[in-house]
Amino acid sequence: MSAPPENRFPSDLYGGRLTIDVDAVSQNWRFLNDRLNGNSECAAAIKADAYGTGQREVGQALFAAGCRTFFVAVPAEAVALRQVLPDAIIYALNGLLPGTSGAYLEHDIRPVLGSLAEVEEWTGLCKASGRSFDAAVHVDTGIHRLGLSPEEFTRSLGDPGVMGPFVPSLLMSHLACGSTPAHEMNRRQLDLFRDVTAPHAHLPRSLANSAGVLMGGDYHFNVVRPGISLYGGQAIEDEPNPMTPVAKVEARIMIVRDVPEGDTIGYGALHTAKRPLRNAVVAAGYADGMLRRAGSTDERPGGFAMIAGHKAPILGRISMDMITLDVTDVPEHLVERGAYVEMMGPNVAAADLAAYADTIDYEYLTSLGRRFERVYAPLT
């Protein structure tokens, strides 16, 4: 296995290992791309360091697989991506921050204009130059975050005095409830987006995130923007996840110890041993992205790890640097000091962990591995 340059120390000095399979990311992109008709392009959202998996490595792998359009959040991410993908189309979803238009033009980055003030600033730039600089325009269809209101969108795009020479390279909106396809909000947003952009249907349009891709062709338009599905996450709730896992988190065992029945485990004494236990303490905690909320108490179970096919429940609170696992029923030779334990990966889905932590797999992925050795290799 090969390690990227940011690993500054020998493997033995890390308490855990984050393995990322960029070929699996490409496989997931091809799976989604194959669901589109010939009129739609499959782009990729690689914001937040490609959901924690490495923007540089993932971006290069996806470009090699055929992806040509990428979405990040902030201009700094876009500039960093441009350094490794000189020929890609790159959009910054968070729009045009004050004073940044020069950097967008210098690095050929396309802002997603999400307010009337941003549209006016960008069109002013185009008017002053007498040419159209590429940018997307975001219309809010009900999520009430970024985006022009439908009225602002209609008024602005229909007024040559506002637009000047500017011709948007993309018109887009964002689904609020894609993870639950039966939610009426999806159809409402689809209908509004279709209606408000109909006078400009000659321009490329984009509505679908990962869930929108899986929801079918009505949502695909010209460009789809999958994110979580590329990284093996579950885009649609309560349905089988068709995506391939791309990341595996392993933590090393520091100590194995016996805990008598009736003793408590971890901070707050929240978990009481109901029988004599054998515990393994591993070198991972919430500082490594293993969320504190997935710990256990006497009232509710916590998450779990896997050791060679054996489930090892989390016992007590997850602390900053360590987690206690119940390995009572795991063969002793598998839980020796220094051995690796799978905390998340092919056998411990991020969505399963997220359910114990009352969150979503996005939060797990984007928080991972600040102190782990990072390895790019197939998951084994």
Domain with residue 316: its CATH number is 2.40.37.10
Catalytic residue among 14, 104, 127, 267: 267
267 included as an active-site residue: yes
Residues 32 and 99 in one domain: yes
Domain with residue 26: its CATH number is 3.20.20.10
Instruction: Check residue 50 and give its pLDDT.
Output: 96
Residues 63 and 204 in one domain: yes
Tokens of 25: 């990311």
Query: 99 and 121 in contact (C-beta within 8 Å)?
Result: no
Residue 110 falls inside a structural domain: yes
Query: 334 and 307 in contact (C-beta within 8 Å)?
Result: yes
Catalytic residue among 14, 47, 104, 248: 47
Instruction: Check residue 8 and give its pLDDT.
Output: 79
Residues 37 and 148 in one domain: yes
Each residue's pLDDT tens digit, 264-319 = 999 999 999 999 999 999 999 999 999 999 999 999 999 999 999 999 999 999 99
Residues 177 and 60 in one domain: yes
Each residue's pLDDT tens digit, 43-95 = 999 999 999 999 999 999 999 999 999 999 999 999 999 999 999 999 999 99
Instruction: Check residue 2 and give its pLDDT.
Output: 42
Q: Domain limits at 252? A: 247-376
Q: Can you tell me the distance from the alpha carbon of 314 to that of 309, in angstroms, rounded to the nearest whole number?
A: 16
Instruction: Check residue 180 and give its pLDDT.
Output: 96
Beta bridge partners, 271, equal: 265
Residues 98 and 208 in one domain: yes
Instruction: Check residue 6 and give its pLDDT.
Output: 65
Residue 127 falls inside a structural domain: yes
Sign of the CA dihedral with 183 first, then 186, 191, and 196 last: positive
Residues 35 and 63 in one domain: yes
Tell me the pTM: 0.93
Instruction: Check residue 7 and give its pLDDT.
Output: 73
pLDDT beneath 70, residues of the chain:
1-6
Contacts of residue 211, defined as CB under 8 A and 6 or more positions apart, other chains included, come to: 175, 178, 179, 181, 235, 236
Residues 212 and 312 in one domain: no
Packing angle of the helix pair 75-84, 55-65 (nearest 10 deg): 60
Instruction: Check residue 38 and give its pLDDT.
Output: 84
